[in-house]
Amino acid sequence: MKISLCKHHFSLPVNLPGAPGDCRRCGLSWDDNLAGLARQAEQVRLATAHEARCEHCAKRTVVFQFQREQQPWDEAEPPLLWLCQHCWSRAAVAVEETGFADFADAFERGSDTQLARLVGGVR
């Protein structure tokens, strides 16, 4: 895998809200950058997948690492979860909707509203 050594400096979006402009150093576009990051995450996910017990549903199967993105209020890295394919997709949806995928995580760092949404909205 080729890794760019450029510490990208993306220009601020011209029209807010919008995607930042190309990297001022290497010319990489913001979309390509995001796609690259997603690809890397995907590769890590596939490379580290292994058989174990899903931390969510306790089924013994192939599990994939899941980590939500670090938020400004996080003092430490968000917890790393090992989830089966099914729970992984559900966690991704939960993070999109509530900011959290895991009850313990939300309980510790989330607001009351976020916690209520996680408990009430995601099954």
Amino acid 97 reads E
List, in order, residues 6 or more apart from 99 with CB less than 8 Å away: 68, 71, 106, 110, 114
**Min dist. Cβ of residue 17 to Zn ion (A):** 22
* Contact status: 24 vs Zn ion (CB under 5 A): no
* Contact status: 23 vs Zn ion (CB under 5 A): yes
* Contact status: 84 vs Zn ion (CB under 5 A): yes
* Contact status: 81 vs Zn ion (CB under 5 A): no
Q: How far apart are the first and last CA of the chain?
A: 37
Q: Residue 32: enclosing H or E segment and its boundaries?
A: helix 30-48
* Contact status: 45 vs Zn ion (CB under 5 A): no
**Min dist. Cβ of residue 22 to Zn ion (A):** 8
Stretch that binds Zn ion, among 12-20, 36-44, 84-92, 111-119 (CB under 5 A): 84-92
Q: How far is CA 52 from CA 19, 42, 82, in A?
A: 39, 19, 8
Position among 6, 37, 38, 80 found at the interface with Zn ion (CB under 5 A) = 6
Q: How many residues in the shown chain lie near Zn ion by CB under 5 A?
A: 11
